[in-house]
Amino acid sequence: MPATVQEELSTEDRFLQAFEGLSDEAKNGTVEAVQGRRRRAIEQFEALGFPTNQLEAYKYTNVAKALRHEYRIAPAEAAPQASTEEVEALLLPDLDAHVVVTVGGRYSEERSDVGALPNGAFVGSFAEGANAHPDVFDAHYGQYADFESEAGDPEQSAMTALNAAFAQDGLFLYVPEDVALDKPVYALHLPSAGDEPLFAQPRHLFVIEENAEARLIEMRRAPEQREHAPGSFTNAVREAYVGAHGHFDHYIVQDEGAGASQHTTFDAYHETESVFDTLTVTLSGDLVRNNLTITPAGEFCESHLNGLYLGSGEMHVDNRTIVEHAAPDCVSNQLYKGILEDDATGVFNGRVHVHRGSQRINAYQSNKNIVLERSAQIYSKPELEIYADDVECSHGSTTGELDEDAIFYLRSRGIPAERARAMLLGAFARDVVESVRSEPLAAWLTDEVGARYGAGQALGVGS
Amino acid sequence: MPLLEIEDLHIGIEDTEILRGVDLNADGGEVHAIMGPNGSGKSTLAKVLAGREEYEVTQGSVHYDGEDLLEMEAEERAQEGVFMAFQYPVELPGVSQQNFLKESVNAVREAQGKEELGAADFIKMVREKSDLVDLDEALTKRSVNEGFSGGEKKRNEIFHLAMLEPRLAILDETDSGLDIDALRIVADGVNQLRDSDRAFVIITHYQRLLNYIEPDYVHAMVDGQIAKTGDKSLAVELEERGYEWLSGDGVAESKASEGNASENGAATEPEEAAVA
Amino acid sequence: MSTAETEYLQAKADQEYEHGWTTDIESDTVEPGLDEETVRLISAKKDEPEWLLEWRLKAYRYFDRLTDERDFYPDWAHLDYDEPDFQNMSYYSAPKEKAQYDSMDEVPQELLDTFERLGIPLEEQKALTGVAVDAVMDSVSVATTFQEKLEEAGVLFMSFGEAVQEHPDLVRENMGSVVPYTDNLYAALNSAVFSDGSFVYVPEGVTCPMELSTYFRINEQGTGQFERTLIVAEEGSYVSYMEGCTAPMRKENQLHAAVVEIIAEEDAEVKYSTIQNWYPGNPETGEGGVFNLVTKRGICKGDRAKISWTQLETGSAVTQKYPSVILKGDDSVGEFYSVAFTKGHQQADTGTKMTHIGENTKSTIISKGISAGVAENSYRGLVKINEGAENARNFSQCDSLLIGEECGAHTFPYIEVGNPSAKVEHEATTSKVGEDQMFYCHQRGLGEEEALKLIVNGFCKEILAELPMEFAVEAKELLAIELEGSVG
């Protein structure tokens, strides 16, 4: 063995070292709820390390293996900038919204255009929000994406703990009791430019109080002039709280291009008779792993979680969803659809967990995949874990190629084969696209899917 | 030259010969009915004409308007005016009828050198043509065939026929599974679409459809061949006597008299068969 | 759930295990403990050839290495039990008088009575016609019926021990070829210490003239049962094989760790049915009961081969098994039909693995789980379509029925698709017995118990229909007994 003077640091060790090297400001410059957890969080991460596919929850996705680079770990002192033109080019046409922008995981005051908000509401930076609403942070931060009590699944907490150790900035959305946001919030997440791969750890908190309402559209985009340094990795954590009778409508589009990877954790908790909807659309990226956990904690909640993943190239996309039915009389519905081509890999692992005593749960889970090429792979693992007898729960999973009979039917009506395939792929994605309640987003998504498979705009939603 | 010219057509699938030399000519304005028992090859003929690829043509030819039809892709055939109403129309979840038909009609029109249909004209056409087969207009707005009843699917096929205005329309057992009212509606639709330029090839198991659509020619298909061709009276005869008497090179009379009732359940008495 | 249903469940939970008695027969039981000497002792008692002893020792050494590792115990299943103490059980127990009987006349009356009491008479004149039985008590085969008649057809059906002596080449060539001893902890343990089991060989082109059946009975206290079954079906042959199991009530847990291997050559078909009714433990305390941790796997080696697993699992404190099929030959078929009924403190984590390798391979999985009391019932299954498995098809359906508020029913399918021409469909539902169904039955004059029995029977119908006729009746009765006390 060649003698090496210095022992090479493991990836984990680099993070531990980076943590110790954090400035006082970075460690302690925020509210107690955030800074008070850092030490315990890094210890938790040290104990667990990055998830490998030895863990059941990461059986098909080896996060540790994807981390091959030397990252810039320490949080940037100030937000890197993006130009007004860049941001404007990435707004959704016809969407009138409160616009917030993050660059490299930091909130960009200059590029955000929040505008007037209803009384008491806050839309803006996580760092600033913490100082403005310490009581809200005390009550909610770290309560849902809680690395210390991921009781059901400690395997999942390493990435959450790592984020909690480093969390500096991101978005904070606060809608107080009885307030409805008049416009949706549009959040644009841009990568930071540069040659060195960045390991960003944005942290977002969304609090929709009792009888309040909000819609949030998040898009991670990487415009051409702002490509990631190859290997960039984002470890994002989101938490959402929806109070009784509240309604939170959430969308996230992941399209940061090849060369970038991300691990996202989203824990949502909602109270009696509230509605929580979320849609995850993954269009590009190297490795994308989404951990989504929803806990309808009060009676008569409604949760909808949908997903659409279009894999191409070497993309690896893994959606893990958990619905914790901790209260009776709730409805949850999930529909995840994937189209995989080239060497792409798609993973769906959904779990519906009905707790003891949570009677009269109606839970439905569906995963459908189309594989276009031999080199593409699908792993589907829908799970039901049920401890109450008066329930209606079901799941389904299908994987196959496009239906040859359907293609023939279209061709025999004069539609060329290529076009027939495109139409059928668009049709496959259609019910997920139709679940979008924001028209500008639905239109944008329809165009994206159409353009991807060469179907143009003819697949118009609802026409 | 007839519009459709089938000569000595032999078709096989995986070493089994299904069609064993079919000859048939059909011209504009004519309605041809092809009747035959299950497994006689009549639906195979329809599928081959429409362009299904799993069948192998081992011998013979098919010309359409003078062109080699068998050389054409399925969509090319449709664009050139060949239409097939499917026996089992496919459900296309998520594909709206409107978009589907807009694509389809314009693909056909483009190939025929016609102008693309504008939105208003298209909507007008949908309304007119759906009336023709009494198709609930709501169905023209849903996904293609998804959740349609059996009768609605068949009517939808005739609606597509009306929309695409083909020169050769092949109806593959369009009558199967229809109750008498639905049958009448489908037949009315077809009758209204008859004109001097359009040929119909109607494949059916039963004579009852032909009570409503009067054919010019009736072909009896048995064992992959057209065993007999006649006028509409042949259909009645086939219904009464079955097909046994036609099999085995026309010496079937003796066979039929051995007491084989007709395959499709018509209570043909041996005596009757013998008399005929 | 209505009060009547709850009460009824209580009554059901109170119901006693029917086969809980013991047989008073002298046994030759080796001292508890496991080391190389134990393995040598078992091999010597069975007068085995050197190659088999070597194989056992290799398996033992592998097992030993495994148990040295930290966290060696496989705990990924949805099961909660204390792992067995491998040093505190006996690995060999046989009725003392003689390990092998040359004819039925030599079998002691107590043994014959034991099996007769279980409803399995071993004297051929009393036996079910059309079914040949191999009866295994504790670790040893005590009798095999109808051997002569089978021999006429060329079918070999005998205890594993006999096969080792009489057909060593067949055994040596095939054993461990489907389930290698390195497969898992219990496969390794079984390979080291297996004491007996059944062997079936069906020659080319032969349709086995009767159903083959093995009955397993654990009698002795503190023993584990480790039998192996090996079925070889040559080209174009057919055999239907069936196993049944019972055990006395014991306060401590008994370990049953079997290995079953099936080899189906071109155009061969093997149908393997199981009615598993080991002692489930005390329904109230959960004390005692059999740990049924079994490895079952078949390979469709040749084109158009077919292997079909059908199981009715009603017994055992803990059941963990995944009867699997490797679909290697083109156009080969794998099937898995299962009813798993857990009540009291029973736990089951069962399902199948279908590995598609050949082209046009097809698999069907129908699983019905019924859970009552404080039981836990999980379906876990893998459908894997390898890259070369062109046009592979799988359909899986897993339905769970919950009876009572304290049980659990879970579904964990794993679907891995590496070929786009494959079509894989999985569906699962979990629900309770529908109130509208119950009401409908009531309206037609049926009481709570009768209605439930009817509905559950209907729920399981398509599985029971897969059992050989001779056992379908038994299975139905067993299910009825499991389900309620008074209605017959």
CATH number of the domain to which B97 belongs? 3.40.50.300
A415 touches chain B (CB under 8 A): yes
Cβ of B104 and A413 within 8 Å?
yes
Chain B residues with CB-CB distance to A458 below 8 A = 99, 102-103
| B97 vs A contacts (CB less than 8 Å) | none
Nearest CB among A408, A415, A463 relative to B104 is that of: A415
B164, A430: Cβ pair inside 8 Å? Answer: no
Handedness of CA B15, B21, B26, B30 (dihedral sign): negative
Tens digits of residue pLDDT in A288-304: 999 999 999 999 999 99
Q: Determine the residue of chain B that is closest to A458 in CA distance.
A: B99
pLDDT at site C95: 63
For chain B, the chains sharing at least 3 beta-carbon pairs closer than 8 angstroms are A
| Optimal mutation site among B77, B92, B102, interface A, most CBs of chain A within 10 A | B92
3-state secondary structure of A367: strand
Residue A76 or residue B274, greater confidence: A76
How many other CB atoms sit within 10 Å of the CB of residue A120? 14
A332: contact with C, CB 8 A cutoff: no
Q: In this structure, are residues A176 and A212 in contact, taking their beta carbons and an 8 Å threshold? A: yes
Distances (CA, A) of B13 to B8, B41, C197: 17, 11, 49
Give the neighbours of chain A: at least 3 Cβ pairs within 8 Å. B, C
Highest mean pLDDT among A58-62, C135-139, C193-197: A58-62
- Binary contact (A430, B92; C-beta < 8 A): no
Residue A96 sits at the chain C interface (C-beta within 8 Å): no
CB distance from A423 to chain B under 8 Å?
yes
What's the whole-number mean pLDDT along residues C237-262? 85
Chain A residues whose beta carbon lies within 8 Å of the beta carbon of residue C436: none
Nearest residue to A387 (alpha-carbon basis) of A364, A349, A353: A353
The CA distance from C347 to C188, in Å, is 23
Q: What pLDDT score does C185 carry?
A: 94
CA distances in angstroms from C56 to C75, C175, C181, C193, C291, listed in the order given? 25, 12, 9, 7, 23
User: Are the beta carbons of A410 and B100 separated by less than 8 Å?
Assistant: yes
Residues of chain C found within 8 Å of residue A372, distances taken between Cβ atoms: 420
pLDDT tens-place string over residues C298-342 = 999 999 999 999 999 988 899 999 999 999 999 999 999 999 999
Is the pLDDT assigned to residue C475 strictly greater than 90?
no
Are the Cβ atoms of A374 and C420 closer than 8 angstroms?
yes
Is residue C135 over pLDDT 80?
no
Touch of B by C (3+ CB pairs closer than 8 Å): no
User: Is there a domain that residue B197 lies in?
Assistant: yes
Determine A/B contact with 3+ CB pairs under 8 A as the test: yes
pLDDT tens, position by position, for chain B (276 residues)? 899 999 999 999 888 899 999 999 999 999 999 999 888 999 999 999 998 888 999 999 999 999 999 999 889 999 999 999 999 998 888 888 888 898 889 989 999 899 999 889 999 999 999 988 888 888 888 889 988 988 899 999 999 999 999 999 999 999 888 888 888 988 998 999 999 999 999 999 888 889 999 999 999 999 999 999 999 999 989 888 888 888 765 433 333 333 333 333 333 333 333 333
The pLDDT of C210-232, averaged and rounded, is 82
Q: Residue A461's pLDDT is what?
A: 37
For the record, the structure tokens of A330 come out as 């709730």
From residue A131, alpha-carbon distances to A117, A135, A187, A239, B122 in Å are: 19, 9, 21, 18, 60
- Does B94 map to a domain? yes
Reported as type and span, the H/E element at residue A214 is: strand A213-221
Domain extent listing, chain A = 3-297, 402-463
Residue B207 maps to a domain: yes
The minimum CA-CA distance between A310 and chain B, rounded to whole Å, is 17
DSSP strands (E only) in C306-392: 306-313, 318-321, 324-327, 333-342, 347-350, 353-356, 362-372, 376-385
CA dist list (Å): B58 to B53, B76, B176, C477: 13, 22, 30, 59
- Computed over every residue of chain C, the mean pLDDT equals 83
Question: Comparing A190 with C2, which gets the higher pLDDT?
Answer: A190
Per the model's pLDDT, the better-predicted residue between B57 and A73 turns out to be: B57
Cβ contact (<8 Å) for B79 and A460?
A: no
**Beta bridge partners of residue C427, listed in sequence order:** A396, C397
For residue B68, how many other CB atoms are within 10 A of its CB? 10
The first and second tokens of residue C83, run together, are: 């792992």
DSSP state letters, C153-207: HT-EEEEHHHHHHH-HHHHHHHTTSSS-TTS-HHHHHHHHH--EEEEEEE-TTPB
How far apart are the CA of B23 and the nearest CA of chain A, in angstroms? 23
The residue of B82, B84, B96 whose CB has the most chain A CBs within 10 angstroms, and thus the best one to mutate to test that interface, is B96
Q: Does A8 touch chain C (CB under 8 A)?
A: no
Domain boundaries, chain C: 20-249
Q: Is the dihedral of CA A246, A118, A108, A113 positive or negative?
A: positive
Residue of A308, A398, A410 to mutate, interface with B, max B Cβ within 10 Å? A410
More confident residue, C145 or A418: A418
pLDDT level of residue A283 (50, 70, 90 thresholds): very high
Residue A426 to chain B, least CA–CA distance (Å): 8
| pLDDT above 70 for A150 | no
> A411 in contact with B at a CB cutoff of 8 Å?
yes
Which of A402, A405, A411, A413 is the best substitution to test chain B (most B C-beta atoms within 10 A)? A413
Q: Which tens digits make up the pLDDT trace of A23-49?
A: 888 888 889 999 999 999 999 999 999
Inform me whether the pLDDT recorded for C443 exceeds 80.
no
In whole numbers, what is the pLDDT of chain A averaged over residues? 90
**Shortest alpha-carbon distance between residue B81 and chain A (Å):** 9
pLDDT of A458 > 80? The answer is no
Q: What is the pLDDT of residue B275?
A: 33
pLDDT at C126: 58
Q: Residue B230: inside a domain, yes or no?
A: yes
Q: What is the Cα–Cα distance from B245 to B222, expressed in whole angstroms? A: 10
Higher pLDDT, B244 or A355: A355
CB contact under 8 A, A394 and C429: yes
Band of residue A229 on the pLDDT scale cut at 50, 70, 90 = low
Kindly state whether A405 is in contact with chain B, defined as any CB-CB distance less than 8 angstroms. yes
pLDDT at C405 > cutoff 90: no
Model pLDDT, residue B273: 34
Q: CB-based contact (8 Å) between A402 and chain C?
A: no
A in contact with C (at least 3 C-beta pairs within 8 A): yes
Is some CB atom of chain B closer than 8 A to the CB atom of A404? Answer: no
pLDDT at C245 over 80: no
One-character DSSP codes across A140-204: HTTTSS-TT--TT-GGGHHHHHHHHHH----EEEEE-TT-B-SS-EEEEEEPPPSSSPBEE--EE
Q: Give the model's pLDDT for residue C251.
A: 73
Closest-approach residue (CA) in chain A for C75? A56
pLDDT of residue C483: 66
Chain C residues whose CB is inside 8 A of the A389 CB are 1, 402-405, 407, 432
**A-C interface: how many C-beta pairs under 8 angstroms?**
116
Instruction: Indicate which of B99, B106, B170, B172 best probes the interface with A, i.e. most A CBs within 10 Å of its own CB.
Output: B99
> Percentage of residues in chain C with pLDDT exceeding 90?
45
A356, A376, A391: residue with CB nearest C420: A376
Q: Given CB atoms, is C400 within the 8 Å cutoff of chain A? A: yes
Residue C105, C-beta contacts closer than 8 angstroms, at least 6 positions apart: none
- CB contacts of B147 in chain A (<8 Å) are none
Does residue A444 surpass a pLDDT of 90?
yes
User: By residue range, what is the domain housing residue B9?
Assistant: 4-242
pLDDT score at B270? 35
Inform me whether the C-beta atom of residue A396 falls under 8 Å from chain C C-beta atoms.
yes
Instruction: Give the mutation candidate from B69, B100, B163 for the A interface (greatest A CB count, under 10 A).
Output: B100
Rounded to whole angstroms, the Cα distance separating A228 from A234 reads 11
Among C408, C419, C421, select the one facing A387 at the smallest CB separation.
C408
Best of A351, A399, A405, A407 to substitute, by most chain C Cβ atoms within 10 angstroms, is: A399
Highest-pLDDT range among C116-120, C202-206, C217-221: C202-206
Contact at CB, B94 and A413, closer than 8 angstroms = no
* CB burial readout C419-431, b (16+ within 10 A) else e: bbbbbbbbbbbbb
CA quadruple B97, A430, A219, A132: dihedral sign = positive
C contacts of A357 (beta carbons < 8 Å) = 405
Integer angstrom CA distances of residue A107 from A2, A110, A256, B163: 46, 9, 18, 56
Cβ contact, residue pair B78, A412, below 8 Å: yes
Encoding tokens for residue A146?
Answer: 């809680």
Q: How does pLDDT run across C162-203, given as a tens digit for each residue?
A: 899 999 999 999 999 999 999 999 999 999 999 888 899 999
Residues of chain B with C-beta less than 8 angstroms from the C-beta of A409: 86, 89-90, 92
Partner-chain contact A415 B103, CB within 8 Å: yes
Q: What is the pLDDT of residues A112-138, one digit of tens each?
A: 999 999 999 999 999 999 999 999 999
pLDDT digits (tens, 9 = 90+) for C14-54: 455 666 656 666 667 778 888 999 999 999 988 999 999 99
Question: Which residues 6+ apart lie within 8 Å of C264 measured at CB?
Answer: C233, C270, C298, C299, C300, C301, C302, C305, C306, C307, C332
Which of A60-64, C14-18, C363-367 shows the highest mean pLDDT?
C363-367
CA distance A295 to A102: 28
Question: Residue A127 phi/psi, 5° resolution?
Answer: -60, -45
Query: Which residue in A has a C-alpha nearest to residue B141's C-alpha?
Result: A463
pLDDT digits (tens, 9 = 90+) for A236-265: 999 999 999 999 999 999 998 888 899 999
Q: How confident is the model at residue C114 (pLDDT cuts 50, 70, 90)?
A: low
- Percent residues over pLDDT 70 in chain A: 92
C-alpha distances in angstroms, C280 versus B61, C21, C186, C252, C407?
A: 72, 14, 20, 11, 16
- Is residue C462 very low, low, confident or very high in pLDDT (cuts 50, 70, 90)? confident
User: Looking at residue C264, what is its pLDDT?
Assistant: 97
